[in-house]
Amino acid sequence: MPNLKPLFFRDAAQLLTLAGPPAPRRGAALRELGIIRDGAVLTEDGKILRVGKTSSLEAQARRLRAQAIDCRGRVVMPGFVDSHTHLIFAGNRVEDFERRIQGKTYEQIAAAGGGIQYSAKLLRRATERELLSQAETFLDEFAAHGTTTVEIKSGYGLDVAGEVKILKTIRALQRRSAIELVPTLLAAHAVPARFAARRAEYLKLITERLIPAVARAKLAHFLDCFCDRGAFTLEECAAVLAAGRRFGLVPRIHAEQLTHTGSCRLAIETNAASADHLDHITAAEIAALAKSNVVAALVPGSNFHLDTPAYPPARRLIDAGAAVALATDFNPGSSPTLNMQFILALACVKLRLTPAEAIAAATLNAAYSVRRADRLGSLEPGKQADLAVMDVWDYREIPYYFGWNHCIMTIKRGRIIYCRK
């Protein structure tokens, strides 16, 4: 790999550094973006060398013969870390979408053979090449919207071969894509129809065959499960996560999404990296989560797309001191968006986060939730040079002008991976 040319992002109207310890931001600290006006960032060898006022970095940039990038009238910020996606899927679920518009619910559609089972059917028919090609197209779009790190869950395989096929696709993508990928085995997503009367057998397949196979091949770092009505019970999820723990897989949980199950408590007990969704979390659980290191990952894109009557109690979570992150939950069933800027808009309008809180939740706290806050999520010397340049004067315009893409340049490990033409 040739030496990377140093880059000098200069004259930014606002540079959002999010400088601070590599720990999640809680309470009032979530609003602190560490803004430098007329800010600059100097990168070298894929890392951030310095940040500060443009005038104070100019001499060093000249000495390094850094390539200058004019950021006048623009906001420079850390690239988004999308900590919850299911981006490896085949085809789509527009049929489900239309049925929901006509009045059927997500759960009714799933029970009638749509939903995750339908995606699993399409995945079984797809070749690895097809999966790879669709995923690469998506990753290009992530980059174009300012996202530089993406967690990806398996989950549409519903058997050992299918899950391994997804995780191997992620591994192949890691070699081809500039975006940093974080693989998660979503082992318990739905009980396949053929196991409907033999759940215990399917659980055994997960704990005794799938988890060991994935862990031995080092195909995933995290282990997720969908704890809900129509998916897996609390006891089943506890058994799955315990099996994963024996192989060093770190838990994350789809918790309290459609109904209340007690899965938020399970996340705390198992010291999970995150508890995601949390629509039906109780007051006592909010207090318990706030005392823990489990990140509350909110995914309002799924509330929007499923048009749920309520959104998760984000304000109460933040005010109680929980570590809140935001993610797209990009998937074909409940949240077909990969645009973190739209998630910021939803977070502001529907979850009542301020724009500053939403940005910190989508960068530093999300980085913490994938256990990479030592390298990602803020613009500070020594951290990885992962940046997004937004064509706005004020960061609040990002969620305010919702539904369009403000990103004009994305940088990963000091390399320009997207530049608007």
List contacts with Fe ion (CB under 5 A): 329
Q: Give the number of residues written for the chain.
A: 421
Q: How far apart are CA 152 and CA 159, in angstroms?
A: 18
305 binds ligand NIG (CB under 6 A): no
Which of these ranges, 5-13, 47-55, 113-121, 205-213, lies near ligand NIG under the rule CB under 6 A?
113-121
369 binds ligand NIG (CB under 6 A): no
254 binds ligand NIG (CB under 6 A): yes
Dihedral angle, C-alpha 333, 122, 206, 181, nearest 10 °? -70
Q: Residue 159's CB: how many other CB atoms inside 10 A?
A: 18
Closest to 367 (Cα-Cα) out of 154, 135, 182: 182
304 binds ligand NIG (CB under 6 A): no
Q: Crossing angle, helix 115-125 and helix 160-176, to 10 degrees?
A: 70
116 binds ligand NIG (CB under 6 A): yes
Residue identified by tokens 């723990």 is 245
Write each residue from 182 to 221 as x if it is in contact with ligand NIG (CB under 6 A), else as -, in one continuous string: ----------------------------------------
328 binds ligand NIG (CB under 6 A): no
Of 20-49, binders to ligand NIG (CB under 6 A) are none
Binder among 115, 183, 312, 414 for ligand NIG (CB under 6 A): 115
Strands 180-188 and 250-255 turn out to be: unpaired
302 binds ligand NIG (CB under 6 A): yes
Q: Which structure tokens are listed for 268? A: 């705390």
Closest to 237 (Cα-Cα) out of 259, 270, 280, 284: 270
Secondary structure (3-state) at 372? coil
- The H or E element containing residue 81 is strand 80-82
Q: Which is nearer to Fe ion, 47 or 350 (CB)?
A: 350
* Vertex 339 angle, CA 105 and 327, to 5°: 70
399 binds ligand NIG (CB under 6 A): no
Write each residue from 68 to 87 as x if it is in contact with ligand NIG (CB under 6 A), else as -, in one continuous string: ------------------x-
Secondary structure (3-state) at 217? coil
Q: Which is nearer to Fe ion, 159 or 329 (CB)?
A: 329
Which of these ranges, 54-62, 202-210, 325-333, 398-406, lies near ligand NIG under the rule CB under 6 A?
325-333
336 binds ligand NIG (CB under 6 A): no
Q: Which does 116 bind (CB under 5 to 8 A by kind): Fe ion, ligand NIG, none?
A: ligand NIG
Q: Which does 383 bind (CB under 5 to 8 A by kind): ligand NIG, Fe ion, none?
A: none
Binder among 85, 149, 331, 341 for ligand NIG (CB under 6 A): 331
337 binds ligand NIG (CB under 6 A): no
Binder among 312, 333, 355, 414 for ligand NIG (CB under 6 A): 333
Secondary structure (3-state) at 45? coil
Binder among 17, 43, 169, 257 for ligand NIG (CB under 6 A): 257
Q: How far apart are CA 138 and CA 135, in angstroms?
A: 5
Q: Which does 395 bind (CB under 5 to 8 A by kind): ligand NIG, Fe ion, none?
A: none
Using CB under 6 A, count the residues that bind ligand NIG. Answer: 13
DSSP 8-class letter at 14 = E
Q: How many CA atoms lie within 13 A of 408 on its CB side?
A: 13
Contact 20, 39 (CB under 8 A): no
Q: Which residues contact 218 (CB under 8 A, 6 or more apart)?
A: none
| CB 35, min distance to ligand NIG, A | 33
Q: Which is nearer to ligand NIG, 53 or 104 (CB)?
A: 104
The residues binding ligand NIG (CB under 6 A) are 86, 115-116, 119, 226, 254, 257, 302, 329, 331-334
